[in-house]
Structure 1
Amino acid sequence: MNNKISILNYCFPLGVSEVFFLSSFYLSILDVSLFAFALPFSALFLLISVYLFLRTNTAAKAILNHDERNSEVYAFYHQSFGIFAIIFSALLFAALAYIPLMESGGHFYLLYCLPMAVCCLIPAVASYKGMKSAKLEAEKNVTNI
């Protein structure tokens, strides 16, 4: 297992997922029916990204009580929370925006965006909990000095 705790561990598949999602959105606007083929690839790369986040999260929890790496762990959780909260909000907004457009492919986005938004909520909550525990660990280490 890699001891490097960084958002770069999961950002590449997340970026690929967003490229597929945005290209699908663009094709949908152009009224090309191929937009539905990009959504499964977006979901696949988003799930890979969440898996890589959870693997890095496990490594971060294991080294949380090391004083010298506590700021690195806190930064990882803080950045991860921001990234996944923004993606959760964007997917939820896209799902709600496509509800009136059900006849013109909106059901594809509804079926994609809602589960993927919930999938992004898992790392957001884990990051929030990790931020709190890293902050408590840092405060505990400061009071011990």
Structure 2
Amino acid sequence: MSGVLQIIERMIQATGAKNMAQMLESMGFSDSAGSAWKRRKKIPDGSIAKVAELTGVSFSWLKTGDGEMRPSGAASDTNESELVRACDIEWSAGHPSTEPLKLTQQEAMMVEFMRELDPQDRADVMDTLRELWLLQRSKQNPQE
């Protein structure tokens, strides 16, 4: 895999920005995101996917530098299928399916955002999601 600095350079190129600060702003990232990526020596796949989705460039090209920047054909389909392949995860134990869970690009980004939250914020978000899910379920199945 390419280094963080090379990925950032490709992100800048993909967005047409003049520098990292301009790229971060145009993509809706915080001012400190670039520093955090450099410090951790890793850019989350969700962040790379966001740039791929918003610019129409290849997720794989952004992440590795391999292949074409903008593949011919439907770029968004290519980007999503690349990300979904990158984000196949196993179901939790006890799930009846033996197939890996395939995430959409939006779902993969949500998982990445959750991973970046501190533990208390993550727990708060999960509690809220659980409440919303139960509320929605009770509306769909009022007899339960």
TM-score by length of 1: 0.23
Structure ranking higher in helix proportion: 1
TM-score by length of 2: 0.24
